Chains A and B, each alone.
Chain A
Amino acid sequence: NAGVMQNPRHLVRRRGQEARLRCSPMKGHSHVYWYRQLPEEGLKFMVYLQKENIIDESGMPKERFSAEFPKEGPSILRIQQVVRGDSAAYFCASLAGPSSYEQYFGPGTRLTVT
C-alpha cells in the first residue's frame, strides 16, 4: 500500500484500557488522514492532520478519542477507556500536499475490545 506504515496490525484491549495506533506516512507526505471502518460498512473520516496541527477533526467522537502528528515521529490515534463499540479497523492515509487528491492507505490496525 504505497509505503504508508501502521502498527500494530492487530491490537486487543480490554474494556477501559487505552489503545494507541501509529501511522507513518509515505516519505515526503506531510498530510495524514485517519478513517474507521466498522464491519460491513465503508470507511468513515475521523481526522485530518498536518505536522503539529489538527486541521479537521469533525469526524472524531467528542470524548475519549484524540490524535496528534508531532514534528518528529508518527501520527498517533489514541482511544482512552475503550468500549466494545470501538472494535473496528482503523486506517491511516497520507497525501503529498493540498494540491493532491489521491490518498494512499496503510494496511490498517484491527482493534478488538474484549
Chain B
Amino acid sequence: DQQVKQNSPSLSVQEGRISILNCDYTNSMFDYFLWYKKYPAEGPTFLISISSIKDKNEDGRFTVFLNKSAKHLSLHIVPSQPGDSAVYFCAASGRGIQGAQKLVFGQGTRLTINP
C-alpha cells in the first residue's frame, strides 16, 4: 500500500530552467509534508516543508505547493543549478502512536540538471 507516490523515477532539466517534481498521497490524515534531497552514499537532507493548512511555502529557489483536494504536492526549483542534481524524496507525516511523527516516503525522483 503505497500511501505516497512519486510517479516520475527521473527528470532531466536544463540548467537555469524550472524543475518541477510531483508527489501524490492517498491518506487524508497526513498533516505535514516535507521534501528531502539525497546524494549517493549520504543521508537525506531536509529541504522545505509545508503544513496542510497552507497551500504554498517558499524558501529561496525552492517553492512547495499543496493541493489538498487533489492530494497532490509539487516542488519547484528555479532556476535549476547543476548542484541540484540528486534524488528528491517527498515525505508525509501524521500524528500516530503517542504523537509519533513517522515519515512516509515516496520512491524518489532522480533529478539531473544538464549544463
CA distance A103 to B42 in the complex (A): 15
Q: Evaluate contact between B100 and A1: CB separation under 8 angstroms.
A: no
Number of interface residues of A (CB under 8 A): 31
Number of interface residues of B (CB under 8 A): 28
Q: Which of B14-22, B58-66, B70-78, B103-111 is the contact stretch?
A: B103-111
Render A66-101 as a binary contact track against B, CB cut-off 8 A, 1 for contact: 000000000000000000000000010101001011
Residue of A6, A41, A56, A101 touching B96 (CB-CB under 8 A) = A56
Residue of B41, B43, B104 touching A105 (CB-CB under 8 A) = B43
Q: Does A28 contact B (CB under 8 A)?
A: no
A residues in contact (CB < 8 Å) with B: 1-2, 4, 6, 33, 35, 40-45, 48, 55-56, 58-59, 91, 93, 95, 98, 100-108, 110
